[in-house]
Amino acid sequence: MDHLLELLADHDDASVLAGGTDLMVEVNLHGRRPGTVIPVGGLEEMREWNHRPRSNSVTIGAALPYSDMERGPLAELLPALAQAARTVGSPQIRAAGTIGGNLGTCSPAGDILPVLAALDATIHVLHRDHSRDIRFADFMTGVKRNCLTPGEVVHSVTVPLTRGWQGYAKVGTRNAMVISTASACLVHDAEEGHVALALGAVAPTIVRAVKAEAWLSRQVDLRGTFRVSPETAHEFGLRAASETSPITDHRSTAEYRRHAVSVLARRLLERSAS
């Protein structure tokens, strides 16, 4: 790890290589020619995950591949993360792709990002000379932009474990292996009595639907198990969608994206309630 940080500090043109499922597309398709490439996949501490019962949280190494999240004990602790991981690409992509890479690329369509946003994840960033803990909301700054500076690497991500339902849903025009047209992650914190909703691919960054969340808290007592009427769920969806600013491109239209996230938000809320 120290060696990695030394290398990164000495080469400010360096590209970190994790699974390469974004970086190699940049190289092969978009003609990117990184001067220095530093692989991180071999660093055991970045490929581990740890359950910390004391702080009731899980820390996930940035280079842990998706295939380790979609099933097994980590999937049981964080079902929304497992569902998001399962939607990424194909088995080959999931065997290589990592959270660190999803954060490095920071595409609004990145499937892990809404999960990190809904869970209020903390991103642990290391540099030879310093370290920073960054809230996800502050980490992603725009379309394919984040707040990393040269010499920094994402080491790991910590998310709190909550009691309550959580889930991820993603719309694409194909039943598997498709880039998100719109996505949503909903996390119910039954102790705090709160529902967090994060929306993907409908704005330059991941959107936390804070107004809809607050509105819902006023409508329904969200402590423990709860029920919502179809009308409340419907309105929750519409309110969440109004917090987005989607675009029209070759993948879909702004109108459809806004509509789709409202449906996803409604359905996820209904699932969390039943």
Ligand X SMILES: Cc1cc2nc3c(=O)[nH]c(=O)nc-3n(C[C@H](O)[C@H](O)[C@H](O)COP(=O)(O)OP(=O)(O)OC[C@H]3O[C@@H](n4cnc5c(N)ncnc54)[C@H](O)[C@@H]3O)c2cc1C
- The answer to whether 78 and 159 are in contact (CB under 8 A) is yes
The CA distance from 136 to 13, in Å, is 24
- The answer to whether 97 and 19 are in contact (CB under 8 A) is yes
| CB of 139 vs ligand X, minimal distance in Å | 11
Q: Does 116 bind ligand X (CB under 6 A)?
A: no
Q: Does 105 bind ligand X (CB under 6 A)?
A: yes
**Binding-site residue total for ligand X (CB under 6 A)?**
30
The CA distance from 62 to 65, in Å, is 8
The CA distance from 45 to 124, in Å, is 13
Could you report how far apart the first and last alpha carbons of the chain are, in Å?
45
- Among positions 21, 105, 181, 232, the unique one binding another protein when judged by CB under 8 A: 181
Q: Does 118 bind ligand X (CB under 6 A)?
A: no
**Binding-site residue total for another protein (CB under 8 A)?**
35
Q: Does 48 bind ligand X (CB under 6 A)?
A: no
- CA angle 189/195/200 to nearest 5° reads 120
Tokens representing 59?
Answer: 């820390």
Q: Does 246 bind ligand X (CB under 6 A)?
A: no
Residue number, 104 or 164, with CB nearest to ligand X: 104
Q: Does 27 bind another protein (CB under 8 A)?
A: no
Residue linked to tokens 């994840």: 121
Residue number, 101 or 237, with CB nearest to ligand X: 101
Q: Does 172 bind another protein (CB under 8 A)?
A: yes
| CB of 174 vs another protein, minimal distance in Å | 5
Q: Does 230 bind another protein (CB under 8 A)?
A: no
The neighbour count for residue 92, using CB atoms within 10 Å, is 11
- The answer to whether 272 and 224 are in contact (CB under 8 A) is no
Among 52, 77, 38, 50, residue whose Cα is nearest residue 156: 50
The radius of gyration computed from the CA coordinates of the chain, to the nearest angstrom, equals 18
Residue number, 74 or 126, with CB nearest to another protein: 74
- The answer to whether 201 and 183 are in contact (CB under 8 A) is yes
Residue number, 148 or 240, with CB nearest to ligand X: 148
- Among positions 29, 42, 53, 129, the unique one binding another protein when judged by CB under 8 A: 29
Which residues contact ligand X (rule: CB under 6 A)?
Answer: 15-23, 25, 40, 62, 87-89, 93, 96-98, 100-102, 104-105, 110-111, 148, 153-154, 179
Which residues contact another protein (rule: CB under 8 A)?
Answer: 28-29, 31, 83, 86-87, 167-181, 183, 249-253, 255-256, 259-260, 263-264, 267, 271
